[in-house]
Copies of this chain bind each other. A is one copy, B any other.
Amino acid sequence: MGESRERVTRADVAKLAGVSETIVSYVINNNRYVARDKRKRVEEAVKELNYRPNNMARALKGKQSNQLLFIADHITNEYFSSIVSEMDKYAYDSGYLISLCANRNSSEFISQVISRQYDGIIISSASFPAEYVEQFSQAGIPVVVYKRIRYHQFSGNVAMLGTGLYEGARKAVRHLISRGCRNIVYADRISARGHVSPPDDLRFGGFVDEMEANGFLVGKENIVCGCHNQEELEEEIKRRLRMGSQVDGIFGRNDMIACIAMTAAGQIGLRIPEDIKVIGFDDSSISRFCSPKLSTISLKQKEIAKATVEMITRMVGGEHVEDVNFDTTLIERESTAVR
């Protein structure tokens, strides 16, 4: 059961075509003179035997492995999965297949990865140590880092790609302000382990900068963070909204947070957008299906994915690649409408 049929190798093709293995190799890689008739015979034999050069052998011999690795900490995110999905499309056309894994924070993991000879690595993890990135780079692997944190600089063959977090956050805040909000709260992520976004987080940074640029000082009262679960966040939001405070706008770190905030607001009888306006981030599907429909910031996953593959392809070819930044699109829906 499950007879493991012999693998078809170059030798088989050579035999069938009546030429040497070398000729087969030349035909496959199309990099040497080959007589027309032999080339044809080889091509036929390849088809007949359904031969395809073994990827492992090729990679070993120093060629590319034709694999890319995407390291992210929340693969489940619709935002990430759509990037991966798009990347898969572009990458496949360039002969790449994409691997995926969560960030393991250990040097063991790093050498794991290095030993697999990926042609390129994409990292989108705020908690990914800079030294590890440099290890990849030193191992000769091109790295594209999706910028999540300010002031990150890497030496070596590392390209930074700004996905629009900072610019998008500013845009979101600006939108709330333009809608009349004067007392905006930033709702940070939920983390079972109590993780809080680092102070130099780009989204949070965008919030602060845009607030201050408009003359609003940001203090503790403008930030909800450190919640361990949905209930805790709801309670915290409600606490902020009661307190007789003037809060009239909420910027959720992502759409889910924003939705939870809307739920909380609803529970204490506040109307959205009349009493309080809410905006999310990511333009994920819940933003279109929640009620009221959530205004949000849409990132350009498609373009980001395409650019990523292009950058890595070029870096593999030895080119130096400039950092890239993408902007975002404000999606206005009901949660920030004027009424």
Closest B-chain residue to A140, C-beta based?
B4
State the number of copies, please.
2
**Smallest Cβ distance from A7 to chain B, in angstroms?**
8
Q: Is the CB of B50 within 8 A of A54?
A: no
**Smallest Cβ distance from A289 to chain B, in angstroms?**
4
Please report the C-alpha to C-alpha distance between residue A67 and residue B115 in the assembled complex, in whole angstroms.
13
With beta carbons under 8 angstroms apart, the residue of B4, B85, B137, B259 that contacts A289 is B259
Tell me which of A17-25, A57-65, A232-240 binds B.
Answer: A57-65
* B contact residues around A213 at 8 Å (CB): none
- Grouping DSSP codes into helix (H, G, I), strand (E, B) and loop, the A interface class, with mixed when no group exceeds half, is mixed
* B contact residues around A139 at 8 Å (CB): 4-5, 7
Please report the C-alpha to C-alpha distance between residue A264 and residue B182 in the assembled complex, in whole angstroms.
36
Q: Does A82 contact B (CB under 8 A)?
A: yes
A interface residue count range (under 10 / 10 to 19 / 20 to 34 / 35 or more):
35 or more
Q: Does A104 contact B (CB under 8 A)?
A: yes
With beta carbons under 8 angstroms apart, the residue of B50, B57, B99, B291 that contacts A100 is B99
Q: Is the CB of A76 within 8 A of B65?
A: no
**Smallest Cβ distance from A264 to chain B, in angstroms?**
12
Closest B-chain residue to A113, C-beta based?
B97
By Cβ-Cβ distance, the 7 closest A-B pairs, closest first, are A2-B157, A4-B140, A291-B291, A81-B81, A56-B59, A52-B115, A52-B111
- The contact sample of 22 A-B pairs, CB cut-off 8 A, is A2-B140, A2-B157, A4-B139, A5-B138, A5-B139, A7-B139, A52-B111, A53-B115, A55-B115, A55-B116, A56-B116, A57-B60, A66-B116, A67-B99, A76-B78, A76-B81, A77-B81, A78-B78, A89-B102, A92-B104, A97-B116, A289-B290
